[in-house]
Amino acid sequence: MTSVWVDGSAGASGDMLLGALVGAGVPLAVLQEAVGAVAPEPVTLRVEDVRRGGLAATRVHVEVAESHHHRTWRDVRALLDGCGLALRVFERLAAAEGAVHGVPADDVHFHEVGALDAIADVVGVCAGFEHLGATSVTVSPVAVGSGTVQTAHGVLPVPPPAVAELLRGVPTYAGPVAMELCTPTGAALLTTLATAYGPQPAMAVDRIGVGAGGRDPEGHANVLRLFVGEPGAGAGAPLLLECNVDDLDPRVWPAVLTALLAAGASDAWLTPILMKKGRPAHTLSVLVDAGRADAVRSAIFRQTSTIGLREQPVTKHALDREMVAVEVEGRRVAVKLARHDGVLVNAQPEYDDVARAAAELGRPVADVLAEAAALARAFLGDTA
């Protein structure tokens, strides 16, 4: 398994991603072969070692003959026939450009991103990530810049409309300088490749690639970093899965929670909420280790009426635990002890054992719970 973390804190573009891939050890020949297989005219990739903001970085130049050919999505689709990942990137671009300009995707003229160098960026980056064999790609919050930028449509605000459309739902911020930091090509690549967004996940980093952009602004390292390695011991760290549900018969919820725990969730709970138009609903929250998340996601979609999930990594601090037991009128009741830095800080009877003992004894559950809790406190000794 290979994990990749993309640090887009200084923005993203196709050439920055190409440089980061080469810097992380992807042979230039892999990228060149992929580009040469689809380019209708000669395209050469050339590597240059540069410095950006005092950092050593790799820049990949895409060298093509000058061309003013503006390709439509139909044209690009024909060129990339059989290149599944690259096709998905351009499909995103076409949908975004069509949405912001109010035209059908098939009729979109790509202008800058339809040029051969942009096609080379997309195809090369996709080939590079496929060469890495990445099983997960986490992308940091993306810096988009601010100010204005000159485009084929004239001066546009930053982020340009297509970038803003592509990055809907993605963590973004303005970033360190007033300039365009994330290009449409960069945004389409990141959102196609990403399997998650957030800070660097737990991983044993083996290779780091630093890809340079073409500009070198004062006080700002115009680079994109790529961390490549194996998922670390903490790669199974908890995830919080959530969804809002307003159309499920409430009598079903106990069975839903039971099914989620059986699927591998470490905890699951409901929070009553009030949604728009005054509709009562519940937020379903599920805590699960990343390694079991797929099974739990499937269980949520099977067991509830939701059609989407929110997901975020969370940090969990768990005390060391051990199980002991007490007896209430000859009935065994398990007690969970918890320690913090080796010091016993909590002793709680297990409720299921309390309820069973109460039923067998014909006593109220509250009475048996109080007695078991009193016996459990004896384990605390002087720390009580």
Output the pLDDT for position 205. 94
CB atoms within 10 A of CB 106: 11
- Tokens standing for residue 301: 């979609």
Q: What is the CATH number of domain 320-383?
A: 3.10.20.300
Output the pLDDT for position 381. 75
Output the pLDDT for position 68. 59
Output the pLDDT for position 294. 85
Instruction: Name the percent of the chain lying above pLDDT 70.
Output: 93
Dump pLDDT digits (tens) for 220-275. 899 999 999 988 655 556 889 999 999 999 999 999 999 999 998 999 999 999 99
Superfamily assignment of 237-313 in CATH?
Transcriptional regulatory protein pf0864 domain like (3.30.70.1380)
Output the pLDDT for position 172. 95
Query: In Å, what is the CA distance from 42 to each residue of 38, 72, 75, 81, 375?
Result: 10, 20, 17, 18, 82
Dump pLDDT digits (tens) for 97-147. 888 878 777 666 665 445 688 889 999 999 999 999 988 899 999 999 999
pLDDT in tens, the chain (384 residues): 789 999 999 999 999 999 999 999 999 999 999 999 988 888 999 999 999 998 999 999 999 876 656 677 778 888 888 788 998 998 888 888 888 878 777 666 665 445 688 889 999 999 999 999 988 899 999 999 999 888 766 888 999 999 999 999 899 999 988 999 999 999 999 999 998 888 998 888 999 999 999 999 888 899 999 999 988 655 556 889 999 999 999 999 999 999 999 998 999 999 999 998 889 999 999 999 887 888 899 999 999 999 989 988 887 777 888 889 999 999 999 999 998 888 999 999 999 999 999 999 999 999 999 999 999 999 887 444
Q: Tell me where in the chain the CATH 3.10.20.300 domain(s) lie.
A: 320-383
Output the pLDDT for position 272. 96
Q: Tell me where in the chain the CATH 3.30.70.1380 domain(s) lie.
A: 237-313
